[in-house]
């Protein structure tokens, strides 16, 4: 049986990072499709607009912590209040260039966050995450 | 009870010495106590000794110049202090009371004198004097110590003030460092880690067209990095410039200059801009900073005006608690402070989807204000407007 590949969402204001992460995922054929947003508010709007349309709701979100307008932490707060309206359970990975221990501590305390990924991007780490992701989907 | 008094006995056993002398000083009678005090026998004294024989040279001079004339004048004299010389040549201090005895015609017959031994009292006096001298010395010493303590207290106070100043400075530096660390950890690490990843992509790739595309991404990141670094260097320059020269600035003039710079934007936005600097028209402040602060605040107010109404912007000064306040009020888009308040003044933080948003202005404005010892706070309501309050220089409490 052919397992369906996940729908991935990347939320990051850093367009270069968006490009690189998408490229790794595409080159390794890890996702069915990738949708990208430059800040939390755009992504939240998308989720709200498509909550009835399960096929458009991503399986996993790569969420940057530090963004303008609505940052990763604020997105998590907002997501927590709408997630009951979603049929799908979204796995969220917090992405950040920060090595600030305060940020890591903060992420580990939030139940919505499955894992914390420190930039820069590394193929190995991404492959590991997708293996784990496949097993829970 | 029958009781008779023997006056002769009383005279002899009296606790004070008595003697009787002729006007020329010859002693013609004395009691036993006087003989005991002077260690002479009766035979050696009566008719033999003169009052002045018992006196030292100094005593004799005093006798001639003070005692004798005073006695002659008033007929009586009390508590004259002499040193009486004993038979063995040693001396002891006495007080003499004398009275002249006269006949009915006023002729001086003889003088009666009482002699009180005041050796003990003199000793006490001596001791008191010594004690007093010691007390004086101690008092002086205490005064000295007190002065020294006072000096030290002053020095300590001065040092305390210096420490407070230093502490204040350190706190400031600490805040700057922590903000610097935050910037380094967020704003610098992101582009650098992108560069590292892009380099790996580039090296692993053989397709030339793809390599060129990757390199164009590298150029973008280098641009970000360069921008962030320049902003950081600029802010470090401001923070390091603690003793920047203060100019006498006229708010009105600086504001007019700002209006001229933003002429086009104001025209396009149709903003109504007013100002009132009458309460505090001038201040001492770095000219470069106040120009940059006014420019940032005014251009922000224009940039983030609400599209559905005429932008109204008002700048004014106030004196409050002995501090000069510069206030910038607008009726623009406003900022959700609950969401964004904590990073409003951070580097590269923007809160509006506006093409010109770079998130540098407020960071630099805050850096400049704090470098001079001031503070900036903000009040805002979404879709109502924003007010920035700037204290030029905070009072030291």
Q: What's the pTM value of the predicted model, to 2 decimals?
A: 0.54
- CB < 8 Å to B217, chain A: 16, 19-20
Residue of B nearest to A78 (CA): B339
What b/e readout covers B186-206, taking b as 16+ CB neighbours within 10 angstroms? bbbbbbbbbbebbebbeeeee
Out of B217, B221, B353, the one facing A69 most closely (by C-beta) is B353
Mean of the pLDDT values across residues A53-79?
87
Are B190 and A17 an interchain contact pair (Cβ–Cβ within 8 Å)? yes
Largest CA distance in chain A: 44
B295 vs B204: CA distance, rounded Å: 48
| pLDDT tens track, chain B, 397 positions | 567 778 888 888 888 999 999 999 999 999 999 999 999 999 999 999 999 999 999 999 999 999 999 999 999 999 999 999 999 999 999 999 999 999 988 888 999 999 999 988 888 888 999 999 999 999 999 999 999 999 999 999 999 999 988 888 888 778 777 777 766 766 777 788 788 888 888 888 788 888 888 888 888 888 878 877 887 787 777 776 666 788 899 999 999 988 988 888 888 889 999 999 999 999 999 888 898 899 889 988 998 888 899 999 999 999 999 999 999 999 998 888 877 766 677 665 555 555 555 555 788 888 888 888 899 999 999 889 999 999 998 886 5
- The secondary structure of residue B16, as a DSSP letter, is S
Out of A19, A69, A120, the one facing B193 most closely (by C-beta) is A120
Is there a contact between A9 and A58 (Cβ–Cβ < 8 Å)?
yes
Are A120 and B196 an interchain contact pair (Cβ–Cβ within 8 Å)? yes
Q: Is the ipTM of this complex over 0.90?
A: no
The per-residue pLDDT for range B115-172, each reduced to its tens digit, is: 999 988 888 888 999 999 999 999 999 999 999 999 999 999 999 999 988 888 888 7
Q: Per this entry, what is the length of chain B? A: 397
**H or E element in which residue B127 lies:** helix B119-183
DSSP A28-97: TT--SEEEEESSHHHHHHHHHHTTT-GGGS-SEEEEESS-SSS-HHHHHHHHHHHGGG-SSPPEEEEEES
């Amino acid at each position: 049986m052919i397992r369906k590949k996940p729908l991935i969402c990347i939320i990051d204001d850093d367009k270069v990072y968006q490009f690189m992460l998408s490229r790794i995922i595409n080159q390794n054929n890890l996702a069915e499709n990738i949708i990208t947003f430059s800040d939390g508010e755009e992504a939240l709007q998308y989720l709200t607009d498509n909550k009835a349309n399960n096929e458009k709701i991503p399986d996993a979100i790569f969420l940057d912590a530090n963004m303008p307008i609505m940052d990763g932490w604020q997105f998590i707060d907002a997501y927590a209040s709408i997630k009951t309206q979603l049929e799908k359970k979204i796995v969220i990975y917090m992405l950040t260039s920060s090595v600030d221990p305060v940020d890591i501590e903060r992420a580990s305390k939030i139940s919505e966050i499955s894992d914390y990924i420190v930039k820069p991007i590394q193929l190995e780490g991404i492959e590991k995450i997708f293996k784990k992701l496949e097993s829970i989907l | 009870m029958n009781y008779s008094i023997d006056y002769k006995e009383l005279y002899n056993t009296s606790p004070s010495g008595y003697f009787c002398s002729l006007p020329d000083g010859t002693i013609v009678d004395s009691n036993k106590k006087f003989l005991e005090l002077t260690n002479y026998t009766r035979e050696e004294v009566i008719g033999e000794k003169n009052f002045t024989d018992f006196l030292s040279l100094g005593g004799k001079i005093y006798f001639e110049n003070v005692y004798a004339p005073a006695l002659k004048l008033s007929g009586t004299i009390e508590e004259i202090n002499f040193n009486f010389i004993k038979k063995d040549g040693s001396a002891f201090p006495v007080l003499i009371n004398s009275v002249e005895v006269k006949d009915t015609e006023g002729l001086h017959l003889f003088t009666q004198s009482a002699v009180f031994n005041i050796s003990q009292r003199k000793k006490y006096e001596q001791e008191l004097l010594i004690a007093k001298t010691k007390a004086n010395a101690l008092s002086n010493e205490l005064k000295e110590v007190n002065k020294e303590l006072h000096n030290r207290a002053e020095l300590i106070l001065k040092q305390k003030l210096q420490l407070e100043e230093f502490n204040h400075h350190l706190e400031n530096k600490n805040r700057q460092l922590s903000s610097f660390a935050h910037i380094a950890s967020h704003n610098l690490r992101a582009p650098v880690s992108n560069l590292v990843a892009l380099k790996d992509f580039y090296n692993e790739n053989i397709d030339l067209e793809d390599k060129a595309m990757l390199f164009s991404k590298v150029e973008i990141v280098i641009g970000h990095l360069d921008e962030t670094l320049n902003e950081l260097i600029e802010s470090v320059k401001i923070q390091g410039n603690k003793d920047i020269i203060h100019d006498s600035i006229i708010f009105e003039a600086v504001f007019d200059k700002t209006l001229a710079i933003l002429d086009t934007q104001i025209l396009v936005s149709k903003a109504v801009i007013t100002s009132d600097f009458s309460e505090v028209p001038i201040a001492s402040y770095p000219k470069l900073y106040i120009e940059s602060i006014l420019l940032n605040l005014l251009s922000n107010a224009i940039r983030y005006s609400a599209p559905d109404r005429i932008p109204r912007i008002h700048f004014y000064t106030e004196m409050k608690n002995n501090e000069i306040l510069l206030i910038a009020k607008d009726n623009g888009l406003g900022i959700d402070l609950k969401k964004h308040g904590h990073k409003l003044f951070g580097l590269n933080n923007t809160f509006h989807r506006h093409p010109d948003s770079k998130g540098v202005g407020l960071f630099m404005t805050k850096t400049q204000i704090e470098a001079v010892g001031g503070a900036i706070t903000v009040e805002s309501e979404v879709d109502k407007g924003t007010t920035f309050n700037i204290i030029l220089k905070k009072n030291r409490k």
